[in-house]
Amino acid sequence: MSLPFLDEFRQGAHLRALMEKLNERAGELARPVRIMEVCGTHTMAISRHGIRQALPESIQLISGPGCPVCVTANADIDRFLEISLIPGVIVTTFGDMLRVPGTRMGLAQARGNGAQVQIVYSTLDALKIARENPDAAVVFFGVGFETTAPTVAATMIEAHENGIDNFLVLSAHKVVPPALEALCNTPGLAVDAFLCPGHVSAIIGPEAYEPVADAFGIPCVIAGFEPADILQSMIMICDQMTSGRAEVELQYTRGVRPGGNPAAMAIMQKVFQPADAEWRGLGTIPASGLAIREEFSAHDAAQRYDVDVSYSREPAGCLCGAILTGIKTPRDCPLFDKGCTPDHPIGPCMVSSEGACSAYHQYEI
């Protein structure tokens, strides 16, 4: 296997030519535009490649609610931490979650206090741990959007069909379109266009954004993750703004097909059903979460473990909520790089590999 495409997408001369084109288009704009990159992977790419610093003054990029770890409410994190402390439980999660602070402690501290925590790269690894430890209950923390939920669902189906009853999932999964709609209804939000997530769109399809583009008159361009993709998508947004259009357009044609991935959606819907969910920063959004269906309830950690997390609260002084809705930027937070650093994080946005504060701190401070 080789990845020759990387070189094509990362040629300096090509990128600088695209930037020049973007500068030209930005010059034709009637007024400055604020573009929200919805996805945390875009936030990271923008910081990592120095795109924000290279932008013309009339274009501002602001980060949105697309970092799954960041939007997970503290109550969900605390619930997972409480479950991790139950004897006989092995909790499994993606690496990002290890350092995310809960109300009383983080997973790393829970591990120090005796919790059995295993970091996995895939839900199949978690299922393997369940097979190898039949006497333990293995709980996977399901955090993520439509990109992650189908693989979790497929693993649950496999566990269900093979009678691996000690594999459980605590689902804090969320879906993107209701959040975008809620965001558009947020008072004080000034977003002129959305840079939409490439990976999520590969599953849900470009059509999923049409209600937002139509109802709120906001251009939506689905972008890939290379710097060239992001620049080209911003050029497309400028063109829409200049010509007075507000449409869903697909830049990431090599990754996203019209209609998305119906097979993945079907698997997701077989296991999960829409449920109200609490988002950090956005509050409770109707039908924006994914609850485990009755048929799979034997694998639902929320049903098996009734833990008390009434003590949950958001960290004092942390602006993660406002940052996730684009109302504030990481630099606006009084804790940024003062009380809150990657080594001593207070809010999740400083920890997650897709978090805005983490991206700013790592690449832009």
Element containing residue 359 per DSSP (H, E): helix 356-363
Q: Which is nearer to other proteins, 52 or 104 (CB)?
A: 52
C-beta of 237: minimal distance to other proteins in Å?
A: 18
Binding of other proteins at residue 118 (CB under 8 A)?
Answer: no
Where do the H-state alpha helices sit in the chain? Answer: 5-9, 12-27, 40-48, 51-54, 68-71, 74-84, 107-112, 123-132, 149-161, 176-184, 198-204, 210-216, 227-242, 262-271, 301-304, 320-324, 356-363
Q: Which of residues 1-30 bind other proteins (CB under 8 A)?
A: 1-4, 6-7, 10-12, 15-16, 19
C-beta of 316: minimal distance to other proteins in Å?
A: 23
Q: Which is nearer to other proteins, 101 or 321 (CB)?
A: 101
**Quick check: helix, strand or coil at residue 298?**
helix
Q: How far is C-alpha 361 from the geometric centre of its chain's CA atoms?
A: 18
Interacting span for other proteins (CB under 8 A) from 28-36, 43-51, 57-65, 242-250: 43-51
Q: How far is C-alpha 201 from the geometric centre of its chain's CA atoms?
A: 13
Binding of other proteins at residue 364 (CB under 8 A)?
Answer: yes
Binding of other proteins at residue 337 (CB under 8 A)?
Answer: no
- The secondary structure of 3-30, three-state, reads CCHHHHHCCHHHHHHHHHHHHHHHHCCC
Q: Which is nearer to other proteins, 156 or 359 (CB)?
A: 359
Among 29, 34, 54, 160, binds other proteins (CB under 8 A): 54
C-beta of 226: minimal distance to other proteins in Å?
A: 10
CB 328 within 8 A of CB 321: no
Binding of other proteins at residue 56 (CB under 8 A)?
Answer: no
Residue given tokens 């690894």 in the structure block: 125
Binding of other proteins at residue 143 (CB under 8 A)?
Answer: no
Interface residues with other proteins (CB under 8 A)? 1-4, 6-7, 10-12, 15-16, 19, 47-54, 95, 98-99, 121, 227, 342-343, 353, 361-365
